[in-house]
């Protein structure tokens, strides 16, 4: 049978799975998996259910539990299961079993932990983030099994804990304690973010740098400015002067939108409460999203120098503190095999051209990239993760399962 014929049969098979998808989502949504940081008991219940499903399909499931005294049972489950392929190289799909709390219940139109089906939409906490990844990968496995087909590469599922609260008991644990699981030859897909037409393949993330800028001058009466040192006027000049950062760190990388580093003044703390006092202390914050090739310490140093010079003209001193710093992982190459494979599959299934892109935030894929493993973040998402009335489209789940099936059929 040709690859084209196999793909056609897998596609047709997946089209018969809507009821299975709904039932799987129903079971997953009802098993609340919240981390101890947010008052939950962990992912044991949901992971046990998933292990039972996969084992009933004949797959061998291994658990790599991360010790954690804060939950009943004393550990967090990290499941790995393989659908053996013709070759040992793997297509990994890493999904997470934990969810975020529902938040304000009055904003939900139905119980967050009872699946509600409305046409193509499946509502419930976790349906998209990250049951989307779990369900699409399980459905792809199911289709290969039902048709008695063997994928080219081994399809490897990782169902990990603790994504929403830091990954220390999830992927970070797996990479630290069981690094032999993953190889740079594997294609690693993380279905945990994406665009609503499925054309964004996330391969890079900017570094994040948050700075607190404090200006100290001399408070005084507004009618006698010569006796004061006005920090608000100085802050205004400092903020304008900091626009120079754009010129000092000018590199462009077309992967990102926007393609350059950004340096945005954001929060401003209150100074004096009344109009007729000149403020002697002002504090504002800078949110910098910096291209991976720049050093964050160098950016901080330039902020300090520019601000000190601009404020000095008003006799005002400046202190710059780091609030958060998160250096980005090296990007996955835009030509990496996982990107090429996804592009080809997305073209087949959706008839669209997907492009490798960078984002300004951070995802769990950074852990793979820091370990030298090229990972791509991809799914067809509708961007309602963490919101009330979270939902996913059944049709996207099946479409994305077809994309995954296609990737597993690729010979190279």
What is the C-alpha to C-alpha distance for residues 53 and 397, in angstroms, rounded to an integer? Answer: 18
Which part of the chain contacts Zn ion (CB under 5 A), choosing from 126-134, 335-343, 376-384, 391-399?
Answer: 126-134
Q: Is 163 a catalytic residue?
A: yes
Q: How far apart are CB 129 and Zn ion at their closest, in Å? A: 4
C-beta separation of 296 from 207 below 8 A: yes
What is the C-alpha to C-alpha distance for residues 377 and 339, in angstroms, rounded to an integer? Answer: 9
Q: Please confirm whether the linkage preceding 67 is cis (ω < 30° from 0).
A: no
Of 68, 128, 129, 152, the one binding Zn ion (CB under 5 A) is: 129
Catalytic residue selected from 43, 68, 163, 186: 163
Of 192, 205, 390, 400, the one binding Zn ion (CB under 5 A) is: 192
Write the DSSP string, 234-270.
Answer: HHHHHHHHTTHHHHHS--B-TTBSSSB-EEEEEEE--
In sign, the C-alpha dihedral spanning 327, 332, 338, 343 is positive
Using the minimum distance from each CB to Zn ion, give the nearer residue, 101 or 337: 101
Using the minimum distance from each CB to Zn ion, give the nearer residue, 169 or 340: 169
By the rule CB under 5 A, 162 interacts with Zn ion: no
What is the C-alpha to C-alpha distance for residues 88 and 141, in angstroms, rounded to an integer? Answer: 16
Q: How far apart are CB 177 and Zn ion at their closest, in Å? A: 22
Catalytic residue selected from 98, 192, 202, 390: 98
C-beta separation of 179 from 169 below 8 A: no
Using the minimum distance from each CB to Zn ion, give the nearer residue, 170 or 358: 170
Largest CA distance in the chain: 89
Q: How far apart are CB 167 and Zn ion at their closest, in Å? A: 11
Length of the chain: 412
By the rule CB under 5 A, 130 interacts with Zn ion: yes
By the rule CB under 5 A, 202 interacts with Zn ion: no
Q: How far apart are CB 379 and Zn ion at their closest, in Å? A: 10
Using the minimum distance from each CB to Zn ion, give the nearer residue, 68 or 192: 192
CB atoms inside a 10 Å sphere around CB 365: 27
Using the minimum distance from each CB to Zn ion, give the nearer residue, 192 or 390: 192
- Point out which residues bind Zn ion (CB under 5 A): 129-130, 192
- What is the set of active-site residues? 98, 163
């Amino acid at each position: 049978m040709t690859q084209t014929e196999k793909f056609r049969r897998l596609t047709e098979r997946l089209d018969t799975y809507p009821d299975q998808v709904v039932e799987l989502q129903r079971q997953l949504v009802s098993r609340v998996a919240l981390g101890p940081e947010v008052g939950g008991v962990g992912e044991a219940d949901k992971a046990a259910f998933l292990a039972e499903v996969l084992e009933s399909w004949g797959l061998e499931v291994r658990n790599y539990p991360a010790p954690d005294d804060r939950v009943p049972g004393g550990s967090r489950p990290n499941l790995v299961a393989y659908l053996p392929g013709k070759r040992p190289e793997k297509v990994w799909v890493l999904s997470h079993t934990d969810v975020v709390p529902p938040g304000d219940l009055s904003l939900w139109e139905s119980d967050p932990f009872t699946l509600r089906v409305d046409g193509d939409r499946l509502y419930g906490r976790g349906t998209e983030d990250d049951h989307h990844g779990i369900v699409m990968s399980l459905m792809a496995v199911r289709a290969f099994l039902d048709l008695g087909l063997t994928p080219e590469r081994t399809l490897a599922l990782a169902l990990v804990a603790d994504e929403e609260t830091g990954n220390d008991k999830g992927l970070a644990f797996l990479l630290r304690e069981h690094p032999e699981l993953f190889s740079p030859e594997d294609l690693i897909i993380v279905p945990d973010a994406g665009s609503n037409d499925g054309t964004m393949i996330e391969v890079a993330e900017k570094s994040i740098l948050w700075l607190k800028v404090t200006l100290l001058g001399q408070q005084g009466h507004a009618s006698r400015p010569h006796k004061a040192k006005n920090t608000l006027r100085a802050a205004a000049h400092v903020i304008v002067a900091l626009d120079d950062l754009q010129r000092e760190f000018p590199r462009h990388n077309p992967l990102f939108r926007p393609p350059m580093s950004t340096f945005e003044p954001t929060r401003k703390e209150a100074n004096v409460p009344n109009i007729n006092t000149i403020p002697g202390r002002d504090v504002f914050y800078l949110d910098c999203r910096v291209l991976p090739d720049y050093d964050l310490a160098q950016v901080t140093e330039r902020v300090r120098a520019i601000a000190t010079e601009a404020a000095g003209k008003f006799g005002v001193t400046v202190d710059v503190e780091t609030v958060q710093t998160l250096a980005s992982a090296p990007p996955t190459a835009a030509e990496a095999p996982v990107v090429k494979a996804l592009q080809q599959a997305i073209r087949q299934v959706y008839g669209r051209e997907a492009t490798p892109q960078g984002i300004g935030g951070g995802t769990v894929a950074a852990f793979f990239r820091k370990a030298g493993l090229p990972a791509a973040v991809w799914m067809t998402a509708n961007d309602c993760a963490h919101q009330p009335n979270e939902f996913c489209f059944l049709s996207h789940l099946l479409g994305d399962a077809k994309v995954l099936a296609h990737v597993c059929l690729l010979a190279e």
